[in-house]
Amino acid sequence: MHKYSKQTRILVAVDCIIFGFDGNELKLLLIKRGFEPQKGHWSLMGGFVEPGESMDAAANRILLKLTGLDKVYMEQLYAFGNPERDPLERTISVVYFALLDLNKYKDQLSDQFQAAWFPLKKIPKLIFDHHDMVNMARAKLRYKASLHPILFELLPEKFTLPQLQNLFEEVYNTSFDKRNFSRKILSTGLLLKLTEKDKDSSRKGAFYYKLDKKHYKANFHNILRFIPNPNDFI
């Protein structure tokens, strides 16, 4: 089993930063930690990497256990390895962040973990170095969303341009000119206009759009410029 002799083996955890958008606010899914140390304190959802399991698989397992969801957008963020980060025993944490439509899943949360959504402006005190993780994830989200069409992962399949603009404004904590915004978004060719309108948030109603999936996948890694003067906001 231990073929490389005399080397130290280390606990490896995966923690998930789960962003959700409810149409209004950007939120983070946190749990009450169920074991010592720091039992009962707010924490990111995480778990130890199991034998024979890749870290991607562990991240997906953890997200599935908490939300009942798979096929969620998720990417590795960073490996946190300060030897003091968990006071009980040295543990390396490989952090992932996920983006999902909060409304779709808000009723499916497993009770087992006492999970709750927190607006980003009202994050409670978190255990260990989880604040550092969250801050890095927020910075990464803003950075990446300014260049790539990543925020669509936070919206339902059908969404309106005002909803999309709300989301951008929430992420960047600012406001954009709607004429320039819609021109820029539509010029990417990523969106398909539907005939149906959303009548919930105005009398006139706003047209629904959906992602052109093929175009989206083919051009996801292209560098776009969603945000005017990104350096002011990132």
Q: Does 156 bind DNA (CB under 7 A)?
A: no
Q: Contact 189/216 with Cβ under 8 angstroms? A: no
- Out of 206, 212, 215, 219, the residue judged to bind DNA by CB under 7 A: 206
Q: Contact 85/91 with Cβ under 8 angstroms? A: yes
Q: 119 contacts which partner out of a copy of itself, DNA, none, CB within 5 to 8 A by kind?
A: none
Q: Which residues contact 104 (CB under 8 A, 6 or more apart)?
A: 156
Q: Does 233 bind DNA (CB under 7 A)?
A: no
Q: Contact 15/85 with Cβ under 8 angstroms? A: no
Strands (E) across 157-205 are located at: 159-160, 191-198
**Strand (E) or helix (H) holding 32:** strand 26-32
Q: 222 contacts which partner out of DNA, a copy of itself, none, CB within 5 to 8 A by kind?
A: a copy of itself
Q: Does 161 bind DNA (CB under 7 A)?
A: yes
Q: Which residues contact 115 (CB under 8 A, 6 or more apart)?
A: 29, 30, 31, 32, 45, 66, 109
Instruction: Give min distance, CB of 99 to DNA, in A.
Output: 22
Instruction: Give min distance, CB of 32 to a copy of itself, in A.
Output: 18
Q: 194 contacts which partner out of DNA, a copy of itself, none, CB within 5 to 8 A by kind?
A: none
Q: Which residues bind a copy of itself (CB under 8 A)?
A: 1-4, 7-12, 48-56, 76, 78-79, 81-83, 88-92, 94, 146-147, 221-223, 230-231, 234
- Smaller CB separation from DNA, 82 or 187: 187
Strand 206-211 and strand 191-198: the pairing is antiparallel
Give Cα 13 distance to the centre of its chain: 18
- Smaller CB separation from DNA, 115 or 206: 206
Kindly list the residues in this chain that would bind DNA in the complex (CB under 7 A).
160-162, 177-180, 182-184, 197, 199, 201-207, 225, 228-229
